[in-house]
Amino acid sequence: MLKLARTVIVPLALPFFLATAMFACDKGKGSGGGGGGATGAAGASAIAPAQGGLKRALAAMPKETELIVGLDFSQLRKSEVWKKYQPMLMEKIGKDLEEFKAKCGFDPMEKLTGFLMGAQMENEGLGNATIFVRGFEKGPATDCIKKAAAEKAAEGKTATIDGDYIELMDGTEVKFRAMFIDDSTALIIKQGESFGDKAALTAAAAAKDGDGLTSSAAFVKLLDEVKTGSSLFMVMNGNAKVMQQSPLPFKIKAIFAWVNVGGGVDGESRIRMEDADAASAMVGFYKMGVEEAKKTPAGKFISSVKVSSKGPDVVATFKFDQKQIDEMVEMAKSF
């Protein structure tokens, strides 16, 4: 039973784990996050393609996509939380960043506005993925790649730039492929350990509303409930391979969540079940797991998380202030 309870806690906490990880790898005022009002295709304006928006990105993602994650870096960069932890990050990448700026003439940390990914899940992690990176201007970015390739030519490393298409090679091995689909949005396709070729990138870039994920009325309806204008949002299909290993006696239809980062971190995570009875039962499992979790070092944060059921949804809302985040980051460093 305790294993079942832990299985409920993990998906509810997943979006917050993602948000904490943004700071834990590398530390304001207020007690909550910021931004995040827009929902569905109307949101993600800073991270979706400049031309076509979120709908264009979703159309480019295969119907088999199981997980979507969006990170609004422009919103994150304005937060008090980011301002506090930025110096720690700069300590780790400062030298490389200065070299990049000197060579390329721009600061990638200032230019990056967002990241959007649609992926299939494998037992070992991510499988195939369609990725959009927004913020780097095509002209300066391609000039930078040309300079880097010229410096490494003697080592057999080459760069091919064919219009909007970019390919980096190390001898006969493909190291990277991407395509600019507008002046500030790059498209990358991962096919297992390989990169999608020019044909695959061109086909994805040409996708229209009604293709890919936008062909699923159920998905589009679900996305309308997600605050895609938040600092971070995610949607996971309950049919994802990773979810098939769940020991729960209920079927999870979807997990979706959003996180806002401002003077603190707040957000909401939802597990959609088949009906209200299943959602109520899941809350019961959660309460069992909470009693166990209270005995762990992370137990002191549980009071900042409220879990309830609303129709077929298990709803978890959370709100952590800067002091709590500092403690969590320190705790995460020990793992």
> Which structure tokens are listed for 124?
């070992």
The Cα–Cα gap between 29 and 86 comes to 16
pLDDT value at residue 124: 63
The Cα–Cα gap between 152 and 161 comes to 16
pLDDT value at residue 29: 38
pLDDT value at residue 36: 54
The Cα–Cα gap between 222 and 105 comes to 42
pLDDT value at residue 101: 85
pLDDT value at residue 4: 40
Q: Per-residue b/e over 95-114, b at no fewer than 16 CB within 10 Å?
A: eeeeebeeebeeeebebbbb
pLDDT value at residue 298: 76
Please give the residue range of the domain that contains residue 312: 2-333
Length of the chain: 335
pLDDT value at residue 57: 96
Neighbours of 284 (CB within 10 A): 12
> Which structure tokens are listed for 36?
């995040």
pLDDT value at residue 289: 77
pTM of the entire predicted model: 0.85
Closest to 318 measured CA to CA, from 23, 9, 38, 86: 9
As a dihedral over the C-alpha atoms of residue 137, residue 141, residue 142, residue 147, rounded to 10 degrees, the angle is: 150
**What are the per-10-residue average pLDDT scores of the chain (335 residues)?**
42 48 42 61 87 94 94 91 81 78 86 93 79 94 90 90 95 95 96 93 96 93 93 91 73 93 92 95 84 78 90 94 86 71
Read off φ and ψ for residue 167, nearest 5 degrees. Answer: -140, 125
How many domains is the chain partitioned into structurally?
A: 1
User: CA angle, 285 as apex, 282 and 289 as ends, to 5°?
Assistant: 135
pLDDT value at residue 125: 65
Contacting residues for 98 by C-beta, under 8 A, at least 6 apart: none
